[in-house]
Structure 1
Amino acid sequence: MKHFLIYTVKIIVVTLLIAVALDGLYTVIFMQSENRGKVETVFNSKAQKYDVVILGSSRANNHFVSQMFENKGLKTFNYGISGGHLFEASLVLKLMIERKYEIKNVILEADLNLSNDQESDGVSAKFLPYIHNSEIIKEHFSNQKNFDELYYIPFYRYIKYDSKIGFREVVKIESKEKTNALDNLGFYPLEKHKNGNMRNNIVNLPPLKRNKYYEEIKNICKANKINFIPVMTPMCENVVGMNYFDKVKKQYPEIYNYENVVIENKYFSSCGHMTNEGARIFTARIIKDFFDK
């Protein structure tokens, strides 16, 4: 029995040492990643100067044409992340401020994502390689229910989110394989598809009375003298429950409602995402209203 216990302890110790070593190795590799995605690009960046920074989910990523701002002489990047929530948008902005970014305007896509203040597992995982190297990331995740496992168990986060930050991603970073996330100054154009989902029902989607991460973004902008421009972006004409946007306006009167600027289905790839053509119509209106003055 004694030998068995000793053997078991040895296995546990060896396993722990391997986990610590792999955790360190993966983290070092992620600390060198600069061209795979928006999160690691911001984390590993130095101070930048922007006239316009765009934040939000895919409805930011697909709806704001960065080059159109640039054509007006406004240095711009679209940091909208498909699948992201305000949890991640707030953290991206916090990291920018920590890195001394100089930002004049933040445009935040704030509409459907006001309905929750949860993290998006697939997107939030992109921050986890840096959780031991950033007090901001650590603090941002500290209230999440699985924080202790992610922070204290070595290599656990890389196993749990293997599809996002696991072995394949490490290999791609090491091989300098790029993605299209940073193309077009962060804007991802969509095309019209025959099988695009042109139906959507948001009747049962209520905006929270107070979204913690929306408030964080607003307060960060105020503290750093950044002009904060929160907007609601368009949806197609088939949507059921469009009074959601009226509810948002009632809860958050400072948010500009642009949901009806583009409504025709021909300008949408799916009901919640405009095509490149629709995005250009929408972006032109935003530039006209906020920057052609």
Structure 2
Amino acid sequence: MKKFLLYIAKVFVIIVLCAVLLDGLYTYVYMKSQNRGKVENVINSKAQNFDVIILGSSRANNHFVSQMFEDKGLKTFNYGMSGGHLFEASLMLKLMIERNYKIKNVILEADLNLSNDREAEGIASLFLPYIHNSQVIKDHFESQKNFKELYYIPFYRFIKYETKIGVRETFFTAIGKKTNALDNLGFYPLEKHKNGNMKNNIVNLNPLPHNKYYEEIKTICKENNINFIAVMTPMCENVIGMNYFDKVQKAYPEIHNYENAVVENKYFSSCGHMTSDGAKKFTARILNDFFKK
């Protein structure tokens, strides 16, 4: 029995040591990457100056044409992340401030995601390789239910989110394989598809009266003298429940409502995402309204 227990103890120690070593190896790989995605692009960067930073979900990523801002002499990058929530947008801005970015304007796509203050696990996991290397990331995740497991159990986060930060992604990161995430200054253009979903029902969607992460972004901008521009972006003409945007306007009167700035279906790839032509039309309106010289 004693030998058996000793054997079990040795196996346990070996497993723990392997987990610690793998954790260190994976973390090292991610700490050396800058060109695979938007998260590591910020985390592993140094101080930069921007006239405009764009934050939000895919409705930011697909709707703001960064080059059009650049053509107006405004240094711009679109850090919108498809599938992301305000949880991740707030964390991205915190990381920029931690790295001493100088930002004049933040444009935040704030509409559908005001209805929740949860993390988007798939996107939030992209920050986890750095949780031991950034106090900002640690603090941001500390309120999450599974924080202790993610923070204290070595290699657990890489196993739990294997499809996002596991073996395959770590390998591609290690060899420096690029993605298109940083192309077009962060803007991701969409095309018109005949099978695109041109129906959407948001009748049951309601904005939270106080969205924690939206308020965080507002506060960060105020504390760092950043001009904060929050906007609701367009949806196609077939949407049921468009009074959601009126609810947002009532709860957050400072948010500019552009849900009707572009409405024709020909400008949409799906009901909630504009094509490249729609994005150009919308971006021109934003430039005229907020950056006209």
TM-score normalised per structure 1: 1.00
Question: Quick check: 227-236 or 171-180, which moved more?
Answer: 171-180
> 1:244 maps to what in 2?
244
Could you tell me which amino acid in structure 2 is paired with residue 121 of structure 1?
A: E
SS in 2 for 1:126: helix
Could you tell me which amino acid in structure 2 is paired with residue 187 of structure 1?
A: F
Superposed, 1:173-212 pairs within 5 Å as: 173-212=173-212
> 1:254 maps to what in 2?
254
The superposition leaves residues 133-176 of structure 1 with CA deviations (integer Å, 9 ceiling, x where unpaired) of 11100000001000010000000000000111001111101211
The superposition leaves residues 186-220 of structure 1 with CA deviations (integer Å, 9 ceiling, x where unpaired) of 00000000100000000000000000000000000
The 1-side partners of 2:229 and 2:50 are apart by 15
The 1-side partners of 2:214 and 2:75 are apart by 24
Could you tell me which amino acid in structure 2 is paired with residue 93 of structure 1?
A: L
SS in 2 for 1:107: strand
Superposed, 1:125-140 pairs within 5 Å as: 125-140=125-140
Could you tell me which amino acid in structure 2 is paired with residue 261 of structure 1?
A: A
The superposition leaves residues 207-250 of structure 1 with CA deviations (integer Å, 9 ceiling, x where unpaired) of 00000000000000000000000000000000000000000000
Aligned residues: CA RMSD: 0.4
Report the number of matched residues: 293
SS in 2 for 1:26: helix
Could you tell me which amino acid in structure 1 is paired with residue 243 of structure 2?
A: N
The 1-side partners of 2:288 and 2:175 are apart by 43
Q: Could you list the runs of 5+ residues in structure 2 that have no partner in the other structure?
A: none
Could you tell me which amino acid in structure 2 is paired with residue 8 of structure 1?
A: I
- Indicate yes or no: 2:27 matched with 1:27: yes
The superposition leaves residues 15-61 of structure 1 with CA deviations (integer Å, 9 ceiling, x where unpaired) of 00000000000000000010010001000000010000000000000
TM-score normalised per structure 2: 1.00
The 1-side partners of 2:173 and 2:147 are apart by 26
> 2:106 maps to what in 1?
106
- Indicate yes or no: 2:279 matched with 1:279: yes
> 1:265 maps to what in 2?
265
Could you tell me which amino acid in structure 2 is paired with residue 292 of structure 1?
A: K
> 1:17 maps to what in 2?
17
Superposed, 1:219-234 pairs within 5 Å as: 219-234=219-234
> 1:166 maps to what in 2?
166
SS in 2 for 1:119: coil
SS in 2 for 1:50: strand
> 1:82 maps to what in 2?
82
Could you tell me which amino acid in structure 2 is paired with residue 284 of structure 1?
A: A
The superposition leaves residues 231-275 of structure 1 with CA deviations (integer Å, 9 ceiling, x where unpaired) of 000000000000000000000000000000000111000000000
Identity %: 75
Moved over 2 A (4+): none
The 1-side partners of 2:10 and 2:129 are apart by 28
The 2-side partners of 1:43 and 1:116 are apart by 25
The 2-side partners of 1:13 and 1:266 are apart by 61
- Indicate yes or no: 2:215 matched with 1:215: yes
SS in 2 for 1:247: helix
